Amino acid sequence: MRVIIAAAGTAGHINPGLAIANKIKKEQKDSEIVFIGTTRGLENDLVPRAGYKLKTIDAYGLSKEISIENLKKMYRTLKGFGEAKKIIKEFKPDIVIGTGGYICGATITAAHSLKIPTLLHESNAFPGKAVKMLARKTNTILVSFKDAVPRIKNCKNVVFTGTPVKIKKQNYSESRKNGIISDVGLKTDKPIVLVFGGSQGAKKINDTIVEIIKDKKNKDYQMIWATGPKQFDNIKEELENLSLNINNIQNMKIIPYIYNMEELMNVVDCIVARSGAMTITEISNLGKPSILVPLPNVSHNHQLYNAKALENVGAAKIILNDEISGEKLNKAIEEIVLDKDEMKKMGENALKISTVDAEDKIYEEIKKLVK
């Protein structure tokens, strides 16, 4: 099978593309796969690191604003369409797959014009502009949330598959679980809350955790807090100004970044995070209660819709970004982790929207389109 995958910008777009590529390679080892991206996004690191070839084109997100800058972007994106068409003609793929974002516009349109089968994967509960615009030109659109199906019009085939993710549910033994907790420097006699805000951290969430530490609210639970690499030193300095040593705060483990995320997500009792599509999928697959703080000012407020997928089944509490405070977050945490029955119920509810076989479902849809 010869496959082109368009994936650019953020890990939320690129990682599903890589997971799809890995599944195709697993099923058909002689498959040839090329990624199309831009020169600006994380694809320039993640795609070659995963062992795949990356070709780049010009592509930009366009706004409705009339400006010289937007006109320049429009021109470059039209140029990108020609570049994508040239790559497709040379590579001669059996199928072209897009995993969301502006890169899909030029690539899927070019493939459609050349009568190559196309497939789009939409990770968010509220589909982005690119997916909606490309619905007529796409043979199949795959979605991560059932709520997204009726939100996509004009596409003949919309299929709920879930999002492929690396983090899986692990049934660790008690001794292994305790070992992971001890390695972090925490104890096993109090509930543990995992806090993170994406790979770069989330300043609003970080400021709120500083409030909790300052007011010593976390007496009855522990925290593993990933600040994000760029924010760690600022938080260290902020805590020093409060006469606190970042490495020696009671019931806290504060780190810049989590490298063993699968282990930690499996052993903690509750998760506080943004509500990107991959995070929602991982939380639901692991069956963990969560407190979600959707990132504001994103297209169609899609992180709020993602979070509601868990809130609607009784698996999560939502605190809006401009409403979060140390007092409010602490209250939400205590209501979950200090009530074992509530914690168990929310975890079981999260599993109701889990999709552990997403790769298999996606591969089946690909096979239907490839003659």
For residue 318, the Cα-to-chain-centroid distance in whole angstroms is 17
The backbone torsions φ and ψ at residue 156, rounded to the nearest 5 degrees and listed phi first, read: -65, -30
pLDDT at 66 over 70: no
Cα gap 108→4, rounded to integer Å? 10
Tens-place pLDDT, residues 269-294: 999 999 998 999 999 999 999 999 99
Q: What is the pLDDT of residue 73?
A: 57
Tens-place pLDDT, residues 158-209: 999 999 988 899 999 999 999 999 999 999 999 999 999 876 668 999 999 9
Tokens of 243: 């006469």
Q: Is 137 exposed, middle or buried (0-12, 13-18, 19+ CB in 10 A)?
A: middle
Mean pLDDT of the chain: 91
Residues 57 and 80 sit within 8 Å (Cβ to Cβ): yes
Domains of the chain: residue spans and CATH: 2-163+356-369 (3.40.50.2000), 174-351 (3.40.50.2000)
Tokens of 294: 């959707």
Residues 102 and 126 sit within 8 Å (Cβ to Cβ): no
Tens-place pLDDT, residues 312-337: 999 999 999 999 999 999 999 999 99
Q: What is the pLDDT of residue 303?
A: 92
Q: What is the pLDDT of residue 200?
A: 67
Tens-place pLDDT, residues 216-265: 999 999 999 999 988 999 999 999 999 999 999 999 999 999 989 999 99
Element (H, E) at 73: helix 68-91
Q: What is the pLDDT of residue 76?
A: 62
pLDDT at 57 over 70: yes
